[in-house]
Amino acid sequence: MKIEKIANLLGCKPIIRNDIEVKNISPIDRATSTDLAFLSNPKYEKYLQSTKAGCVIVSDKINPDNYPTLNLVICKNPYLAFAKVLRLLFLPGTPEPSISKNTFLGENATIDETARVEDFAYIGRGAVIGKQTHIMPFVYIGENTKIGDNCIVYPNVTIREKCVIGNNVIIHSGSVIGSDGFGYADTEDGEHLKIPQIGNVVIEDNVEIGACVTIDRAALDSTVIKRGTKIDNLVQIGHNVEIGENSILVAQAGISGSTKLGKNVILAGQTGIAGHLTIADNVIITAKSGVGSSIKKSGVYSGIPVYDHKNWLKSSAVTPKLYEMYKKIKELEKRLEVIENAND
């Protein structure tokens, strides 16, 4: 693709010193004369001096006169522009419609004529598959589950009965949607009596779910993942949880039952959240934090249990010095004791 065409598609300004055709996309330090690269972080501007890239997407804060031999595409947000280029060139196209003869189709299952269902998928009774949705091999879709348009369900995904999947949803391999919630009642004998989980999971439009994610069905109502949310690999979401719009859940985060997250919440890796809590909109919880009470105000939180991130940083700076402080306190106590005894 010509540089000018790339710039026009992005709505950015091209600066062309050598009109080439871009053939690939590469990191700026390994790009060749026919590659497109990008630079979003100003601290790496030094790479513009040595790169061999055919063209570089850069910030409008970069002075192009400093690089008189480079082809540039000037954007306000180079990282976003780079993502758009990748989507233009590498997103999978519309799947070729087909239903494998090795697919199991339950009674009254409905598959749109534009969808693609591959070998050994199981489509349960009354299930619905929408337009241009791609179901890959060994996917299990339970009874009366509905999957919308333009979805991609990768191999070995399990979507159990009565779940509802919106449009433009991506579910990666090994994930389980609609597994039983972890609910038990203790008997007089101390046994744990399983509570039937008769609700479902609702996943709204434009959600992406990573590999080996588990989302439990609700006990009575719905576990809900709202539109635009992105979930990394190995995340556990308990029953009756609600995840607000455009939230991000990073790998190994875990959310206990009946907790509600607001919009634009970010849970960093290995964050744990207890059950029956409410997390406000625009909250960021940093890695390995533990949340044991509701968070009512937007902001950044850290620690176990979590508190304001800035205060946590101050506390963390003090923690390595605690033992030395303890020794000094003990020494001062001894001195004080000597002084008090002398006064007696």
Q: Which two tokens stand for residue 117?
A: 């269902």
Q: How far is CA 75 from CA 48, 152, 201, in A?
A: 16, 31, 40
- Give the burial class of 44: count Cβ atoms within 10 A of its Cβ; 0-12 exposed, 13-18 middle, 19 or more buried: exposed
Question: Which entry of 134, 172, 192, 239 is annotated as an active-site residue?
Answer: 239
Give catalytic status of residue 172 as yes or no. Answer: no
Spatial CA neighbour of 4 closest among 73, 65, 68, 51: 73
As annotated, the active-site residues are 239
